[in-house]
Chain A
Amino acid sequence: MSQDVVIRARGLTKEFLRDSFHIVALKDVDLEIRRGEYLALMGPSGSGKSTLLHLIAAMDRPTAGEIEVLGSNVASMADSEMAKWRNRHIGFVFQSFNLIPVLTALENVELPLKLTHLKRGERVQHAATALKLVGLGDRMDHYPRQLSGGQEQRVAIARAIVTDPDIILCDEPTGNLDARSANEVLELLRRLNQEFGKTIVMVTHDPHAAHFATHIRFIDKGELLPEGKKPEDWS
């Protein structure tokens, strides 16, 4: 086992039970992702991409199998431990940005730092640095509704990186953006990967977006396809 593997899944399975329906969202997934990798996860909708991301982020527990992230068996942690661990090690970017509407850009970015021991001054400083990094140094006091979609997503990315996590997980980060904003976001993620060495897993539908990544894997009906293989009906 190489030191370099930061995410390792073995026989990872996730089932949902909803109104007596039994849904298998992930089936026996084996996966290894190395430090510094930028993986694009593709697949039809409902194939289990988000579910996999959630399990990596310790936002949910698998039904069966193991998942080890940065050497921790996250599924075995208690809820409060999981929360702390997420805060420290994971940055998560949503398709719909999910900024807190009543907070300014700066305050949104500062939010995860409130869980650390940093003093207020340091928190603001870190948050400002992160915002400058995503090119929004001049929009710190703007509220989400005063920003464009692309800007909102960049604030969300700033929020994801402000704690300096090892891994950034993005769930269709460009799904709600026009082509130009999407490119800005993708450029940004690539920079984070190349300049800062962040490990990135990005779920996307868009082949153009996937080209920014170093690797591409497909999921179909809950199963992770072998490297280089696409679902049959994939265009």
Chain B
Amino acid sequence: MKYLPLIVKNALRNRRRTLLTTSSLAISLCLLGVMMALYYALFIGGQPAKAQARRVVVRHKVSIVFPLPLYFREKIAQVPGVEEVMLWSWFGGVYKDARDQRNFFARMAADADRLFRVYQDYVIPEEQKEAFIRDPAGCVVNKALAERHGFKVGDRILIRGDIYPFDLDLTVRGIYTSTDFDDDTLWFNWKYMENMLRNSPRLMAGGFTLLARSEQDVAAISRTIDEMFANSEAPTKTESEYTFGLSFLSFLGNIKVILMSICFAVTFTVLLITANTMAMSVRERVREVGVLRTLGFGKPAIVGLIVGESALISLLGGLLGVLVAEGLCWVVRQGPAIVQQAKTLTIEGPVFAALMGVSLAVGIFSSIVPAVSAARTSIIDALRFTD
């Protein structure tokens, strides 16, 4: 510790270089931070949001594009541990111009009276909820989505059907927020579908979402449901809503490999840049190492001074990087809900620890070679050294 002041002064010796290196580290590590945060949220430590943890999705075993018979709902409701079930259906359709990515958001039909019982994280004024349930052509919209498109209560929204042979003419009856995360969804009354598809074989459920009495029941309920329908006309696949969401990941490409490659490339770049800085700094100071050795500093002390300096710079860069990364996570959270994890992205404890670990490792590995070789240079050679 008594060397710390010297280490700090050494780090500040070439201020511009240290500033450039620290910034470079901070920039790269913030990128690494966001990538690691995503990777962590998607593949390691992601947790369902609070209310979501009890929600379970039932869908067709072969593919989500196949519908399920309506009567499944009553059978599912009878499974022990199930508190509430609602059916839903993906309407798809086209809102305004499909070419504009912003016009792409989820448009789902659902049991209006059950929606808010299953989605307990939804917050909506009571009278808006009542109005939605009463209106067979009513819809409710997530607040973030409503703000993006300027939807207000009472507005009409037109959606052209593509999967279904009819268009939607909906009235916004309510705007909801969520205590979990914004899901960018428009929910409309299932009665609309019933009215349009009366007597059509196409009046089927896209799937069901149920609320389990407790989180512990989720696994058992899923098993029971899948066994129950295994030999029916439509075998099902039942999983927690959270897991269900993850199953769409492969749609974005091989995110796992992409994220890992980016992390690897960034880490390696950072290592190179820091190593280069340290190599330059040490080279300029070989003579001084000779002086310190003459004064009686041993080789370990020399190595410690140099590695310490590098670690200090890297940790500082890492810390700054984490701060910026948290800022970037905020930006990601404001973005579209491509995956649910993006809406709650943040630097979690383990990711923070990993980032600091990477910073420290970069600090050590980038300087260990020049440090050891400087310490190994004989005093005489070090004192005679001219760059």
Contact = CB atoms under 8 A, between A and B. Distances in A.
A87 B295 contact: yes
A17 interface: no
Interface in A71-103: 79-80, 83-88, 92, 94, 98, 100-103
B296 A84 contact: yes
A159 interface: yes
A177 interface: no
A102 B9 contact: yes
A147 interface: no
Contacts of B294: 57, 59, 86, 92
B9 A80 contact: no
Interface stretch (A40-48, A109-117, A125-133): A109-117
A30 interface: no
Given A59-B379, A60-B379, A112 B296 contact: yes
Nearest to B298: A83
B251 interface: no
Interface in B133-181: none
A59 B293 contact: yes
Given A112-B295, A112-B296, A98 B380 contact: no
Given A59-B380, A102-B10, A79 B3 contact: no
A54 interface: yes
Interface string A204-216: 0000000000000
B246 interface: no
Nearest to B295: A112
A60 B9 contact: no
Contacts of B12: 102
Given A54-B380, A80-B298, A100 B2 contact: no
B78 interface: no
Nearest to A112: B295
Interface in B265-291: 287-288, 291
A120 B2 contact: yes
A78 to B, nearest CB: 10
B324 to A, nearest CB: 29
Interface string A53-71: 0100101100000000000
Contact of B293 (A83, A100, A103, A163): A83
Contacts, number: 65
B223 interface: no
Given A59-B380, A60-B380, A100 B297 contact: no
Question: Most chain-A CB neighbours within 10 Å: which of B9, B288, B295, B378?
Answer: B295
A84 to B, nearest CB: 6
Contacts of A92: 294-295
Interface residues of A, number: 27
Contacts of A85: 296
A115 B291 contact: no
B61 interface: no
Contacts of A159: 295
Contact of A54 (B10, B288, B379): B379
Contacts of A87: 295-297
Nearest to B299: A79
Given A59-B380, A60-B380, A79 B287 contact: no
Contacts of A54: 379-380
Contact of A115 (B13, B288, B296): B296
Nearest to B301: A115
Contact of B378 (A60, A83, A100, A163): A60
A102 B298 contact: no
B19 interface: no
Nearest to B375: A79
A43 to B, nearest CB: 18
A94 B382 CA distance: 14
B331 interface: no
B380 A83 contact: no
Interface string A26-54: 00000000000000000000000000001
A60 B10 CA distance: 27
A92 B296 CA distance: 10
A94 B3 contact: no
Contacts of A115: 295-297, 301
Contacts of B301: 115
Contacts of B220: none
A114 B3 contact: yes
Contacts of B287: 98
B339 interface: no
Interface in B99-150: none
Interface in B2-50: 2-3, 5-6, 9-10, 12-13
Nearest to B378: A60
Interface of A: 54, 57, 59-60, 79-80, 83-88, 92, 94, 98, 100-103, 107, 111-112, 114-115, 120, 159, 163
Interface of B: 2-3, 5-6, 9-10, 12-13, 287-288, 291-301, 378-380, 383
24 contacts: A57-B294, A59-B379, A79-B298, A79-B299, A80-B298, A83-B296, A83-B297, A83-B299, A84-B296, A84-B298, A85-B296, A87-B296, A92-B295, A98-B291, A98-B383, A100-B291, A102-B12, A102-B13, A103-B6, A112-B295, A112-B296, A115-B301, A120-B2, A163-B296
Given A94-B383, A98-B288, 5 more contacts: A59-B380, A84-B298, A88-B296, A102-B13, A111-B6
